[in-house]
Amino acid sequence: MFDYEIVNQFVRICDYTGEDSRVEIPGEIDGLPVREIGAYAFSRKGITHLTLPETVEKIGRYAFYNSGQLAQVSFYSSIEDLGAGAFTGCHNVKCFQVQIVPEKPSCLKEFLSEISEEICVDYRDGEQFARLMFPEFYEEGVENTPARIIESHTHGSGIHYRNCFIRKEFQFEEYDKRFTMAMHRESFAFNLELVLGRLQYPYRLSEAAEEVYKEFLMEHFEEALQYLTEKKELEKMSFLMDFQRRNRKISALDFEL
């Protein structure tokens, strides 16, 4: 299933030769830890889901180049080196599942910078869990004729969301502050998914941010219910209905004996 080489008492995956679309890389092969994914190792493969072990420390350049069916990647935050262009051409990645490794720098920012499309991050910190949505962004080259240069303009709030890090540590407070920007720049569907994610899994959610998200959900309750009904999102519909019951405005009937 894997072509690999042994380097300094560890394994480097060089190529994937299997046919399964869901691939889980083992933590060791031949009794040695798997520490590297080589350059182009999964390039142009038909994989849809990939799980990396905690042992992996390095991912080579263009490792997943043009793997257009890749939709979900699960990894540990302790990866030290993500090669340039690792996810180039992977335009269908919808979800990163990251397990945070304590006391080690996180690679999440580097992973997010590789994907410009909208993406969901399932963030696990020990037993704690958060679901975070990151909007799309894109860059446009605009010619400045008088100066004879090409200026790069970035569109969408996605780039701002991807900058919610301090020394590689994700800042939940900064993430939540950006919702006022997303409300004006992103679609209703995206904002609804973001709000539901934060309220359903409120890890490190401040009271102030929670109130902003709740206000959005109450103001758009009917639209949200219609959207979730059309998408047949039963779990989210159940959460929404329960939320509405717990947070509805008190009416005069509530005061009747």
Domain ranges of the chain: 1-115
Residue 139: per-residue pLDDT: 65
**Contacts for 203 with CB less than 8 Å, ≥ 6 apart:** 123, 125, 128, 129, 130, 172
Digitized pLDDT (tens) for each residue of the chain, 257 residues in all = 999 999 999 999 999 999 999 999 999 999 999 999 999 999 999 999 999 999 999 999 999 999 999 999 999 999 999 999 999 999 999 999 999 999 999 999 999 999 999 999 999 999 999 999 999 987 654 455 565 565 545 567 899 999 999 999 999 999 999 999 999 999 999 999 999 999 999 999 999 999 999 999 999 999 999 999 999 999 999 999 999 998 875 443 443 43
Give the largest Cα separation in the chain, rounded.
Answer: 79
CA dihedral 134, 130, 193, 115 (to 10 degrees): 20
Nearest CA to 36 among 68, 81, 70? 81
Rounded to two decimals, the pTM is 0.90
DSSP 114-162: H--S-EEEEEEETTEEEEEEE---EEEEEEETTTTEEEEEEESTHHHHT
Angstrom CA distances, 210 to 164, 173, 205, 218, stand at 18, 11, 6, 12
For residue 95, count other CB atoms closer than 10 A to its CB.
14
Residue 256: per-residue pLDDT: 45
- Residue 167's region, left for phi above 0, alpha for psi from -120 to 50, else beta, is left
Q: Are 167 and 181 in contact (CB under 8 A)?
A: no
Residue 137: per-residue pLDDT: 87
Paired strand residues for 33: 28
DSSP single-letter state for residue 101:
P
**Contacts for 47 with CB less than 8 Å, ≥ 6 apart:** 16, 20, 21, 22, 23, 67, 69, 70
Residue 241: per-residue pLDDT: 95
Nearest CA to 42 among 29, 31, 22? 22
d(CA 164, CA 166): 7
Is domain 1-115 classified as CATH 3.30.1330.30?
A: no
How far, rounded to the nearest angstrom, does the alpha carbon of residue 103 sit from its chain's CA centroid? 21
